[in-house]
Amino acid sequence: DVVVDLCCGTGDMIRTFAAAAPAPALIIGVDFSAGMLAHAGLDGVAVSVQLVRGDALRLPLADACADVISCTFGVRNFAVLQAGLEEIARIARPSARVVILEFATPGNLLLRRLYEIYCQAVLPRLGAWLSGDRSGAYRYLPRSIQTFETTRGMTRRLEEAGFGDVTARRMNFEIGRAHV
């Protein structure tokens, strides 16, 4: 398989795919940030890996080039969500498997309230303290989660982009969601 990992960051999913059996023939990691790609720790990865700096809305990849496409916690940051999903569809081979992992707001009222307290009060302070960040980046995360597509909305957008057999699964006490 040829695997494309969009918004690959420092390569966490690349290392996961590389350790899979059977191993892919090629993994292409794409990220908008040259700094993230520069910090990709791929020492010891035995699979052929290409890192590409690129915009998910205009991927520098050929049509129908990928058997597996993943995007982990990245589609929420696409400037134009539908354009990014259509690009994913463009590079997917007809039998490709696509997995999009994203944060979600829990449907359960008690879990949602606990999650909101954590995201609004704990996460921004803890993240800023641990990272030394003073830019407010950790206040962005909860806002972006709250305003992102619902499960039903994301499923509809994927279908409109041309994907078939779209399923969604909530994970990790409903704070994560996998669209396949």
Tens digits of residue pLDDT in 27-76: 999 999 999 999 998 988 999 999 999 999 999 999 999 999 999 999 99
- What are 129-140's pLDDT values in tens digits? 888 877 777 777
Global pTM reads 0.89
Question: Are β-strands 176-179 and 168-171 bridged in parallel, bridged antiparallel, or unpaired?
Answer: antiparallel
Q: Which two tokens stand for residue 91?
A: 């590079």
Torsion angles phi and psi, residue 76, rounded to 5: -60, -20
Least confident of 86-100, 131-145, 161-175: 131-145
